[in-house]
Amino acid sequence: METKKNHTLVVTGASWGDEGKGKIVDLLASGAEIVVRFQGGNNAGHTVVVKGKKYKFHLLPSGAIQNKTIVIGNGLVIDPKVLFEELNMLKKEGFNPNLKISENAHIIFPFHNLIDGLEEEEKGNYAAGTTMRGIGPTYCDKMSRFGIRVYDLLDEKIFRSKFEKIFELKRKMYKTLVNTDKEWDLDKEEIIKRYLDHGNKMKQYVINTAFYLNQAIDEGKVILFEGAQGALLGIDHGMYPFGTSSVTWSGGVCAGTGVGPTRIDKLIGVIKAYTSRVGGGPLPTELNDNIAHQIREQGHEYGTTTGRPRRVGWIDLFSLKYAVMINHYDSLAITLLDALAGVDPVKLCVGYNYNGESLKTWPIQSEIIEKCIPEYIEMPGWKNLPPEEWSRIAKKGYNALPDKIKDYVDKIEEILGTELAIISIGPNRSDTIIKKSIW
Ligand code: IMP
């Protein structure tokens, strides 16, 4: 193994999620001993392809298929059913990751999913188009200090006492939220029994992960922190209210794991050759024509979690510049350049025009963004190639890339002012060019 100069590495998506982080994390995880998630829940969808076989994760860190130690930090919200489904799937496939779960992560209950759907209906135009996994309502309870944490599930007395209160509150909320005569049909005792059972099964994995991770850093262990969603979907710096409820940018690592900012060595952002997003909200570079269809099919742009077709558009370097600014990434990885092949010319959005003026910085406010007209530059596109050809190029390295791709990469580097260290031109782990070593 190469000697590590950096011991803690953070990988986050720089836009609206689905940047191909799963693959990049999987690639970098081979150099790590511990892979950690720090935010979100099973709203995430990470696809990793190894030797032609696809593995899909929603909750567990992608390092799971490398039998690493994997950690679910305190910043997550956990649906225990999904947790055990993924663990069972891994066991069946012959993987045996060493899992640690934070005692302070919050638990998703059936009423969270129910309320997620009802609130979305009430929001009308402001609906984010959530994954309906109960993510927002669970974070909401966390912040209002009504939530139930992993630790609570391990003690029947504590759990019952907290759960009975929250259950009653949610029942009242349900009655005020629902416009129908539908009855609240959740069975309190059944849920208590089921979740105590989950707690019992979880016990073996539960520790103080902040202590564990800080100790691991003291011992010089190599740790990779894996983001879910993307910077522009985050609760603070994303397009509010059309995003998710967790802290998705690199700063979320500290809050979501208990590892301090000075202990983080390197930050990598993942971008893709074009833009995509699922759910509501303005998307200035969105395409709705044949090119959109072509990109969607070539990039398999359908949600890993919901199966929804993703909205696609030209790369939005103006919003990415904002993401690069807040994260202050050391370097970037770009994915899916092969999926943009055959589109000629390609456009790159380098600014937004609002009310006849070019904006200085990306405006977070969705009301402004929806009125912005993207400012584009155009570049020649590159030819489509059969998958084996992309793999052959990846093996040969950066110099073997078609010149037009190199020009595209150079232009992105120039505009974002950050190096593209990893270039991905196919779904497999091996279809990747490391232009500059990350560790
Ligand atoms: P929630 O996270 O389910 O509350 O959904 C809020 C918004 O974030 C919706 O627009 C979702 O489509 C989007 N979202 C959540 N998770 C992901 C993800 O992993 N990739 C892309 N979009 C996501």
Q: Is the CB of 45 under 6 A from ligand 1?
A: yes
DSSP code at position 2:
P
Task: Determine the residue of 140, 233, 276 to mutate for testing ligand 1's pocket, defined as the one with the most ligand atoms within 8 A of the Cβ atom.
Answer: 233
Structural domains counted in the chain = 2
**Element (H or E) spanning 331, and its range?**
strand 331-335
Beta strand pairing call for 420-424 and 46-50: unpaired
Boundary (domain end) residue, out of 181, 204, 227: 204
Task: Say if residue 241 is in the same domain as residue 383.
Answer: yes
First to last CA, the chain: 11
pLDDT at position 181 is 66
Active site residue 46: yes
pLDDT at position 179 is 65
Task: Say if residue 188 is in the same domain as residue 222.
Answer: no
Domain CATH number, residue 129? 1.10.300.10
Quote the CA–CA distance of 347 and 314 in Å, as a whole number: 6
Q: If we measure between CA atoms, which residue out of 233, 228, 222 comes closest to residue 253? A: 228
What domain range is 319 assigned to? 8-99+208-434
Buried b (16+ CB within 10 A) or exposed e, 62-91: bbbbbebbbbbbbbbbbbbebbeebbeebe
pLDDT at position 48 is 77
Domain CATH number, residue 47? 3.40.440.10
Task: Say if residue 410 is in the same domain as residue 314.
Answer: yes
Residues 422, 433 contacting (CB under 8 angstroms) = yes
Task: Say if residue 277 is in the same domain as residue 419.
Answer: yes
Task: Say if residue 246 is in the same domain as residue 273.
Answer: yes
Quote the CA–CA distance of 178 and 145 in Å, as a whole number: 24
Quote the CA–CA distance of 221 and 276 in Å, as a whole number: 35
* 2: in domain: no
Task: Say if residue 125 is in the same domain as residue 274.
Answer: no
**Tokens 């939005």 found at:** 316
pLDDT at position 180 is 62
Boundary (domain end) residue, out of 178, 204, 230: 204
Tokens found for residue 421: 């260290």
Gyration radius (Cα) of the chain, Å: 22
pLDDT at position 52 is 78
pLDDT at position 4 is 55
Task: Say if residue 171 is in the same domain as residue 319.
Answer: no
Q: Is the CB of 110 under 6 A from ligand 1?
A: no
- Cα(363) to centroid(ligand 1), Å: 20
Spell out, as residue ranges, where the chain has pLDDT lower than 50: 1-3
pLDDT at position 47 is 77
Beta strand pairing call for 34-37 and 223-226: parallel
Boundary (domain end) residue, out of 161, 185, 204: 204
Task: Say if residue 169 is in the same domain as residue 306.
Answer: no
Q: Is the peptide bond before 402 cis (omega within 30 degrees of 0)?
A: no
pLDDT at position 2 is 46
Q: Is the CB of 44 under 6 A from ligand 1?
A: yes
- Cα(27) to centroid(ligand 1), Å: 24
Q: Is the CB of 229 under 6 A from ligand 1?
A: yes
Task: Say if residue 63 is in the same domain as residue 186.
Answer: no
* 273: in domain: yes
Task: Say if residue 192 is in the same domain as residue 267.
Answer: no
Active site residue 328: no
- Cα(325) to centroid(ligand 1), Å: 22
Q: Is residue 196 classed as helix, strand or coil in its secondary structure?
A: helix
Task: Say if residue 345 is in the same domain as residue 327.
Answer: yes
* 439: in domain: no
Task: Determine the residue of 119, 133, 278 to mutate for testing ligand 1's pocket, defined as the one with the most ligand atoms within 8 A of the Cβ atom.
Answer: 278
Task: Determine the residue of 21, 82, 131 to mutate for testing ligand 1's pocket, defined as the one with the most ligand atoms within 8 A of the Cβ atom.
Answer: 131
Task: Say if residue 139 is in the same domain as residue 216.
Answer: no
pLDDT at position 1 is 42
Q: 316-364, pLDDT tens digit by residue?
A: 999 999 999 999 999 999 999 999 999 999 999 999 999 999 999 999 8
pLDDT at position 174 is 86
